[in-house]
Structure formats: C-alpha cells, structure tokens
Amino acid sequence: MNDEFKRKLEAYEKGELPEAEVDEFESELDKLETYQEFLQATDEQIGTKTDAAHDKRQKKILRRGKWKARIQTALVALSLFIVFTILSGIFTSVYYSWGKPDRIDVFRNIIDHTLTVTNPYGYLGRTSTSTKAYFGLEATRDLNKMVGHDRMIVGEMKVNFLFSLMAMPEEQKYGRVSQDWPAFTYPGTGSRGMSDWAQLEELPEGTVISAYVSFSELLETKEVLDSFEGRNMDLLWLAVDTGIELNELTEGVIFEPIGFPKFPIWHDDDFIVTERKEEAGGWFGGSIVSESASSPEYEAGDQSVLQQQFMKTLAFLERHERKANNLVFDRLRLAERIEYLNENGFHHYGAVITGPTKEILQLRDEAWITELEIDEVAFWNWENR
C-alpha cells in the first residue's frame, strides 16, 4: 500500500476527499474487498486439503499400528500354544510312564484282565496304548472269537483316558452282529427252550462252531477238564459260579458270566526273567535296560494253578473296580464274588467250546450237558490233534 493511497484513505474516512475522486476511490475499495475475499477462500481451501491429508496419514499410521499389534498378539499366542503343547507332551509321557509298574501297564492290564474273566474270548489279543496330546492316553484292542482253529476279528474297542480318568469304551463291530446273544442256564432252573441241537443237525459235515454249553449240575474244575479230555474239540473257557448268578432278576439265565480260560491268567510279576541287558544311552547319561522273560511252568489240567491265577486276577481288578466296571454292563461286585469263592470253592455251570459240528453234536447224549447255544459257525479249519 503506497503513501498516495494512504492519504486518500485518510481523507475518505474524514470526508475530506474531493467529490470528483470519491467514486473512483470507492471502486478501488470494492476491488480490494473482492481480492481479500478471494484470498480468504483460497486459504480456507488450502487449509482443508492440508487437514484431509493429515487425517489420511493419521488413519494410515493407526491402521498399520493395529495390524502390527494383531500380528504380535497372534505370534505370542502361537508361541505360547507351541510351548504349552511341548510341555504337555513331556508331562503326559512322564505321567503315564511313572511308577513300577507304570500307569500304562496298569491301565492295559485292567482292560486285558477284565475282558479275560468276563468275555469267553477275552484272552485273545492284547491291548495297545499310545499317549495323546494334552494329558490323554488311548487304548485300543481287537475283539476276537475262536471258531475251530481260526481266530476271527469281530470288532475293535477303544478306551480313552484323561490323566487317570477312564471314559466309557467305544466298540465297533465288524460283519454280522447276531441279535441272539448266547447265554448259560444255571443248573436246576429248567430249560429255556433255546438249545440249538436241531440247528447242529442241519449244519453240513465240513463246518466248525463255537458254542456255549450249560451243565445239568455244578461241576468242579477237574470234572470239567476231565469231561472234555480226549474229545475232538477244544475247551476254551469255564464259567465260574460266584454266588450272584442265580437271582430273581435273571431267573437262572446268565448273559454276563465270569470265569477263566483253560490256561492260567499270568500277570506281569509272574514272569521269570531269563535274560537282562543294560546298555548306556539313556537320557541324561542313563542306561537302557532290555529283559527277556518266560511264564512259569504249567502242567496242563492243573486246576490249582488255574484257580489261583483267577483269584489273583479278581484281587487285582478289585483294586481298580471302578475302571473295570466301565468295561461291563453291570457292576462286577468283586468283593462279594471273592468272599463266596473263598468260602465255597470253585464250581462251574457251563463252558465255551469249539470244534467240528458233528463232534459237538454228540454231546447231546451226555447227561451232564443240558443246553447248547451256537455262537459262531465257520467253514472247515480243523486239524485233528
């Protein structure tokens, strides 16, 4: 702004500006006002663009920070998960391998021994185990039947553990599942009319069967062994009278027997170590021990050994009865059974046998056998011994 314009502005404000110059000066003022408004509008527009760019940069920085925080959180969570998985795996292995015998052997023996005394074919096969992540153990076992001289896999059982908590078993059946589960009839309770002698007559010569046979009276162990001695068939399993089979609910029909196979039920502490090797190479400077062991000598037909090992098995299962009960339909009530056997001795009301169909059919003429129920039939696989 020059001095001349200032002079005119002062004179205009005081009203001293000549009339001839007023219109011209007001026109200049209007131009200045318009220019001023233009400058203000331009400044506001530039300011708005500047603020928008600033806000955009702030949002970009904030978004980048959020993703960085998310990635860091995910990496920390993943690291913790991996560390937890490794530690839980180590702890799981230590937990189940602790003790002598260790927990794996104990749990395996509970399953094997329970099936051996409650399932006529339960002695066939062994339970395998594998530890799982997060403190679990899985036990699996094939379910077998002996028909003639062939072992048939008829299903699979799986049992899961969480620490020492045992879940209910899961069973998967293979092939045909019979709706008529064979059973025993207690002596003196009358016939159920379920005998399969007629079916045996219709079966062809080249077949073998497994069957449940019921006795006309309670027999001692030696009597049962002697009765099947020399016959062209195999005695697989002896059902034991334990004092609770005959009750009002079952009326003498026994679908859940308890008994033992024709050979002793050996336990881990029964085996005799025949060879032992110890080699360096274990963890933390330890050693690896390998042993070979054999079962005690047993003379076929020695009823005292059969009975002794059966009682030992019941005593073992009594200590773990809660888990053993998970593997059967009803409670085992082992204390009652053990007390009854100690007071009354061993007697049998039935057995499970296998052999050629026509050979087993001849048992119909035996007075000591009342009923027979077929379990399985197979083509000829029999080798005379």
* Residue in 330, 365, 372 with CA at minimum distance from that of residue 350: 372
> Would you place residue 82 in the very low, low, confident or very high pLDDT band (cuts 50, 70, 90)?
confident
Distance CA 93, CA 104 (A): 10
> Would you place residue 281 in the very low, low, confident or very high pLDDT band (cuts 50, 70, 90)?
low
Burial bucket for residue 50 (CB in 10 Å: 0-12, 13-18, 19+)? exposed
Least confident of 78-82, 183-187, 197-201: 78-82
Distance CA 167, CA 138 (A): 10
8 Å CB contact between 16 and 22: no
* Residue in 273, 309, 305, 306 with CA at minimum distance from that of residue 291: 273
The reported pLDDT for the residue numbered 16 is 67
The phi and psi torsions of 229 (rounded to 5 degrees) equal -65, 130
pTM of model > 0.85: no
The reported pLDDT for the residue numbered 278 is 67
CA distances from 299 to 244, 263, 305 (A): 31, 9, 9
The reported pLDDT for the residue numbered 238 is 98
Structure tokens at 148: 């003639």
Least confident of 47-61, 173-187, 320-334: 47-61
- 44: amino acid identity, one letter: E
4 versus 316: the higher-pLDDT residue is 316
* Residue in 23, 28, 21 with CA at minimum distance from that of residue 1: 28
Q: What is the 3-state secondary structure (H, E, C) of the chain?
A: CCHHHHHHHHHHHHCCCCHHHHHHHHHHHHHHHHHHHHHHHHHHHHHHHHHHHHHHHHHHHHHHHHHHHHHHHHHHHHHHHHHHHHHHHHHHHHHHCCECCEHHHHHHHHHHHHHHHHCCCCCCCCCEEEEECCCEEEEEEEEEEEECCEEEEEEEEEEEEECCEECCCEEEECCCCCCCCCCEECCCCCCCCCCCHHHHHHCCCCEEEEEEEEEEEEECHHHHHHHHCCCCCEEEEEEECCCCCCCCCCCCEECCCCEEECCCCCCHHHCEEEEEEEEECCHHHCEEEEEEEECCCCCCCCHHHHHHHHHHHHHHHHHCHHHHHCCCCCCCCHHHHHHHHHHHCCCEEEEEEEEEHHHHHHHHHCCCEEEEEEEEEEECCCCCC
What pLDDT digit, counting tens, does each position of 319-344 carry? 999 999 999 988 999 999 999 999 99
Instruction: Give the sign of the dihedral formed by CA 226, CA 264, CA 208, CA 187.
Output: positive
What pLDDT digit, counting tens, does each position of 4-47 carry? 767 766 676 666 667 666 667 667 767 777 767 766 766 666 65
Give the 3-state secondary structure of residue 84: helix
The reported pLDDT for the residue numbered 343 is 96
The reported pLDDT for the residue numbered 54 is 66
Mean pLDDT of 276-294: 62
Distance CA 312, CA 310 (A): 5
> Would you place residue 92 in the very low, low, confident or very high pLDDT band (cuts 50, 70, 90)?
confident
The reported pLDDT for the residue numbered 60 is 75
**Mean pLDDT of all residues belonging to the chain:** 86
Whether residue 76 is predicted with pLDDT greater than 90 in this model: the reply is no
Whether residue 121 is predicted with pLDDT greater than 70 in this model: the reply is yes
Whether residue 270 is predicted with pLDDT greater than 60 in this model: the reply is yes
What pLDDT digit, counting tens, does each position of 219-264 carry? 999 999 999 999 999 999 999 999 998 875 677 899 999 999 999 9
The reported pLDDT for the residue numbered 36 is 72
